[in-house]
A and B are shown apart, each in its own frame.
Chain A
Amino acid sequence: MIVLAQAAGAVSTGEAITFWILGPIALAGALGMIFVRNAVHSALMLILTMFCLAVFYIVGQAPFLGFVQIIVYTGAVMMLFLFVLMLVGRDSSDSVVEVLRGQRLAGLALGVGLAVLLVGSIGGSLSAVTPVGLDAGGANGNGNVTGIGRLLFTRYLFAFELTSALLITAALGAMVLTMGMSRGQLKPGQRATVQARLRGEHDRISPLPGPGVFATGNSVAVPAVLPDGSIAPESISAIIDATPAEVIDEHPVDPHALTAGTDPARSAADPSGKSR
């Protein structure tokens, strides 16, 4: 029986190889997450680490949790993170300014201390432990999902039902936080806009004049003409002035290029085609 339990709980060679390959990758992903400056790259590094952890779950006799990890964490949670990053602006990178002096160094020192404490205590106390294991007649004997389901619906039933209440509350809270906040800053109505205009809160009372389309030409680049014959500069969109105009004469178009070749007499008489 003891031999069977040892065989069930021990780490096989393949699992050891998986661990020694994916463990450093997971650590590198985690380190990259806190040291990369771009937040989107941080999120991708964290996805890498979570994926490595999912593989650890699957080879470590918890296949259900491994797939839940992939679906929930790397699939849903991290995509939500990326979505909010895009919403908030992905170039909102970290500021380099230290508000508290020496805070980063102190944080790093605390981290190293915590790592030494944790690794020292765990490594010293658990190296002689014989794992019982779950597979091969253990708690996973009827399948991992069956075992977890049996526990969930018997011993942890109340916690499981509380979880549903938590999820509903979280969904409602997210909706209240994101949609209810914008209630206070509604767009002003028509009446409020007109009153603000008459109070002089805008640059001019009337709307901007339209361009002279169909008055003197059919282009929005044609300005409107005021009653005294002068040009209304506000009638042209600012974009038109800002757009770099391409001078047509720099690229002479040959009208006969598509039909019957060039007309030598016409092109000799009028090489640039300006008079037409």
Chain B
Amino acid sequence: MTPTYYLLLSALLFTIGAVGVLVRRNAIVVFMCIELMLNAVNLTLVTFARINGTLDGQVMAFFVMVVAAAEVVVGLAIITSIFRTRRTASVDDANLLKY
């Protein structure tokens, strides 16, 4: 077994996250699917760091984690404020920009 299997697992996780973004309607679940995609990319970065023998991939994964934390804070604040005004967390109902 080589670390390539981690890349395969990461690809599958990324795909599942992408499908979730396309399929689910709850904004919070869509957001969780984006988190899953970020995690899959992190696994890829860590595995490539191991394959290449340098730590740069791990540092990049670390930055991805920091950016994901900031993104979660802002995104959940946006979802909360949308829920306050529209009383819903569904992505179908936030259609004000459509018209």
A contact residues vs B (CB 8 Å cutoff): 5, 8-11, 16, 19, 23, 26-27, 30-31, 33-34, 39, 42-43, 46, 49-50, 53, 56-57, 60-62, 64-65, 68-69, 72-73, 76-77, 80-81, 84-85, 87-89, 92-95, 97, 99, 103-104, 106-108, 110-111, 114-115, 118-119, 122-123, 126-127, 129, 131-134, 138-140, 144, 147-148, 151-152, 155-156, 159, 163, 166-167, 169-171, 173-174, 177-178, 181-182
Contacts and interface: CB of A to CB of B under 8 A. Distances in A.
B81 A84 contact: no
Listed from nearest, the 3 A-B pairs whose CB atoms lie closest are A132-B53, A107-B22, A111-B19
5 contacts: A5-B53, A56-B6, A97-B92, A132-B52, A178-B80
Interface string B9-53: 101111111111011111011011101100100110011011111
Contacts of B53: 5, 8-9, 131-134, 138-139
B97 interface: no
A132 B8 contact: no
A72 to B, nearest CB: 6
A19 B6 contact: yes
B40 to A, nearest CB: 8
Contact of A27 (B12, B22, B49, B66): B12
Contacts of B13: 26-27, 30, 49
Contacts of B8: 119, 122-123
Contacts of A65: 42, 46, 58, 61-62, 65
A167 B66 contact: yes
B9 to A, nearest CB: 5
Contacts of B85: 181
A88 B79 contact: yes
Nearest to B54: A139
Contacts of A147: 55
B36 to A, nearest CB: 6
B99 interface: no
A253 to B, nearest CB: 49
A163 B90 CA distance: 31
Interface of B: 1-9, 11-20, 22-26, 28-29, 31-33, 35-36, 39, 42-43, 46-47, 49-56, 58-59, 61-63, 65-74, 76-81, 83-85, 88-90, 92
A177 B74 contact: yes
B29 to A, nearest CB: 5
B42 A53 contact: yes
Given A72-B69, A88-B89, A181-B85, A81 B80 contact: no
Given A88-B83, A148-B59, A77 B50 contact: no
Contacts of A53: 39, 42-43
A119 B62 contact: no
Residue among B17, B77, B79 with max Cβ neighbours from chain A (10 Å): B77
B19 A170 contact: no
Contacts of B33: 33-34
Contacts of A163: 63, 66-67
A169 B74 CA distance: 9
